Structure 1
Amino acid sequence: MPVAVNPIKLKSIVQTGIKQYIPACRKITIQYCNWGGSSEGIRQYLKSGQINKLLETNRHIEFEIVNKNGTHPVITGHYANQRIKPICIRNLTGTRIEEKLNLIKSSSGSVLRNVAKNKNVQSNSDSVRGIWSPVHVDPTSRYNV
């Protein structure tokens, strides 16, 4: 007798790292000014054609180039977790702009947390020795220095 299978239960939820790689960065927006001095580096980067290599190797990322007069140049990464990460690139050279583009492309978009902020060690289990108290010491040697 054939078994009826519900196709909805057979759907797998695809997550990064489990069956296939899903890149976190979905879109990169490059905003610059056509006449501003702080946008000179990004204008030279775009004119030199170096961005074409980046476009060819990262076809999964949508690139948008916006010419907005009167503003400083900014590279903005839009991620799959609905986060937006802007990085100011004013007065940077082509190699530094390339580094910033790679930083946005390779980051996950999650909020950076300070790990060293919480210096206390937390554990789910109690210590083997227990908590120390002066009451636990032998009364004859309690206050001997």
Structure 2
Amino acid sequence: MPLSAIKTVATAQNGVGAFILPCKRITLSYCDWAGSSRGMNAYLKNQLGAFAKRNPQIEIQVYKKAKHHPVMTADYLNGHRKSINVKNMTPEGVKEKIELLRNASPEEDKRVPNKPVTSINESVRGIWSPFHGAKIKI
């Protein structure tokens, strides 16, 4: 019986066969007048074009709002949205935050319940007994 290759790969897991970036849109809002938007303005003028070329799968929207602190908002494929305030940040800080939103998981942060650690033994080493240890010669 001759061997034949699989014609299609049907998986629902991201990363098997192809990777789909969960971030679909990043919205940048800033103010031309306010001093808190200096870093955002410099980033938009000098570095946003390179980021857009490296990430063609992400839609980038830029809004200018008067008397408004700069904010980044990312929309993900599962419908979740994350926002970061970039007030008074340097252009390098803005770059780090936009990459953080691009690489972030779209899932909500889950709280781990605080369960006390319990053990059968009272200590890590166990219960001490005089019969444990080296034998003493008399």
TM-score by length of 2: 0.72
Which secondary structure state, in structure 1, belongs to the residue aligned with residue 62 of structure 2? strand
Does the Cα contact within 8 Å between 1:15 and 1:22 map onto a contact in 2?
no
Which of 104, 109, 125 aligns to 2:106? It is: 109
> Any gaps of 5 or more consecutive residues in structure 1?
1-9, 122-128, 130-145
Tell whether the 8 Å contact from 1:27 to 1:64 is kept in structure 2 after alignment: yes
Tell me which residue corresponds to 2:53: 56
Q: Name the counterpart of 1:93.
A: 90
Alignment length, in residue pairs? 111
Per-residue CA deviations over 1:35-73 (Å, capped at 9, x if unaligned) read 1111111011112x2111111110110000111112110
Q: Percent identity of the aligned residues?
A: 35
* Separation in structure 1 between the aligned mates of residue 26 and residue 65 of structure 2, nearest angstrom: 16
Displacement of 1:14 in angstroms is 3.8
Q: What is the match of residue 40 of structure 2? A: 42
Cα distance in 1 for partners of 2:52, 2:36 equals 24
* Moved >3 Å (runs of 4+): 10-15
* The structure with more helix, counted as a fraction of residues: 1
Residue number among 29, 32, 35 corresponding to 1:31 in the alignment: 29
TM-score, normalised on structure 1?
A: 0.69
| CA-based RMSD | 2.0
- Unaligned stretches of 5+ in structure 2? 1-7, 121-138
Equivalent-residue separation in structure 1 for 2:9 and 2:18 (angstroms): 15
Q: Is the 8 A contact 1:26 1:78 kept in 2?
A: yes
Shift of 1:114: 2.9
Partner Cα separation in structure 1 for residue 90 and residue 78 of structure 2 = 30
Q: Out of 115, 118, 135, which is 1:119 matched to?
A: 115
